[in-house]
Amino acid sequence: MPVYFFTLLLNPMPLNVEQIRKDFPILERETQRGKRIIYLDSTATSQKPVQVIEAMNNYYRRSNANIHRGVHTLAEEATAMYEGAREKIAKFINAATSREIIYTRNTTESINLVAYSWARANLKAGDLVILTEMEHHSNLVPWQMLQAERGIQLEFISVLEDGLLDLDDYAALLDRNPKLVSFTHMSNVLGTINPATDIIRMAHDAGAITLVDGAQSVPHLSVDVRALNADFYAFSAHKMCGPTGIGILYGKSALLEAMPPFLGGGDMIKEVKLRSFRPNTLPHKFEAGTPAIAEAIGFGAAVDYLSNLGMDNIAAHEHEITAYALERLEEIPGVKIFGPAADKKGGVAAFTLEGVHPHDVAQILDQDGVAVRAGHHCAQPLHEKFGIPATSRASFYIYTTKEEVDMLVNGIYKVKEMFG
């Protein structure tokens, strides 16, 4: 049986949500209409606690300097903070060493790094890459570009009507000897938590390398890359209480060592001559130029914040909120919810309202301060699969309350009244 949600929860303790909310200054503000912000768009980006904001502010106020290149006090402080954050992130996902943690700009760049470096060094015309029908564009377009350039083949694991992957379809695709299986751990539309351990094991048994898009999973679940046995794992800070503009590519050391550099320039080199260069050691080999130093420090602070709350506790809270939200939304005539039941999904509720475009739903909700997302959520093929142009999407996190879900539901009833 595939491993889904509840096996990830180990003796969760209830979160003190009211206390947590005090850490997020933005939740205190009101809209121009004088409405309190009801933020239900954390799948797009999470809000930031004061601990993260202050960590970045402290760096700029007290320790601002470039890293790795100076022996003066500020440079050494900045370097220690930057590399200290890398150590925290490695521990957070249980990487074997911080050398396997590559700083990037975001999940998208992490996936592109694998496509440009590992894939272009290892894939040739006719080689098969397996993706899924629920992928974010970030895990589709890089492979489509490589298909146009190299003539690789792309095939897709089907999504069933209930929002789960068709693992029988996957098993049949594996008989075609793929070189890479790349998939999302958790869908940003359906909320589906895919059975990553099973998918990776099956890929390895077929001789394939694996890449996991963890943009939606790492912020919400306890992720252990060694237990998963993932070859590559990508995620971003901004969806997990950290700053924008910084992400992570985790890769097994042996794979990263064998890969050519992604970008050329400063800090990714050990030696440069006029006609040649030698790349630096891991992880610096893939980190050209002055990096996002303050953002890395903020990332480390975000990891501290989530670790103190406990990832199993976070997952349990989100499951409770999601189950409640699905129950309330199902009460509304004309609402159709996409994705599996609450026990197989994270904190996402994508839905349509009969006779009303999702953008109209979002705009009317915003009049009462309720922030949801509307559109195809960078998953256009998935929406086409279900025969719809767009959905409205409410998404939940550590600061979401049941009262806010009630405000969402009340707002949808208001939309229904307005549209007759």
Looking at the annotation, which residues are catalytic?
Answer: 378
**Distance between CA atoms of residues 116 and 127, nearest Å:** 15
**Distance between CA atoms of residues 206 and 229, nearest Å:** 14
CB burial of 353-369 (b: ≥16 within 10 Å; e: otherwise) equals beebebebbbebbbebb
Residue whose token pair is 């080689």: 127
**Distance between CA atoms of residues 195 and 160, nearest Å:** 14
Per the rule left: phi > 0, alpha: psi between -120 and 50, beta: everything else, 173 is alpha
β 128-132/153-157 pair status: parallel
Question: How many Cβ atoms from other residues are within 10 Å of residue 124's Cβ?
Answer: 10
**Distance between CA atoms of residues 197 and 185, nearest Å:** 10
4: closest CA among 169, 196, 188? 196
Asked whether 372 and 392 are in contact (CB, 8 A), the reply is: yes
In single-letter form, the type of residue at position 12 comes to: P
β 370-371/38-39 pair status: parallel
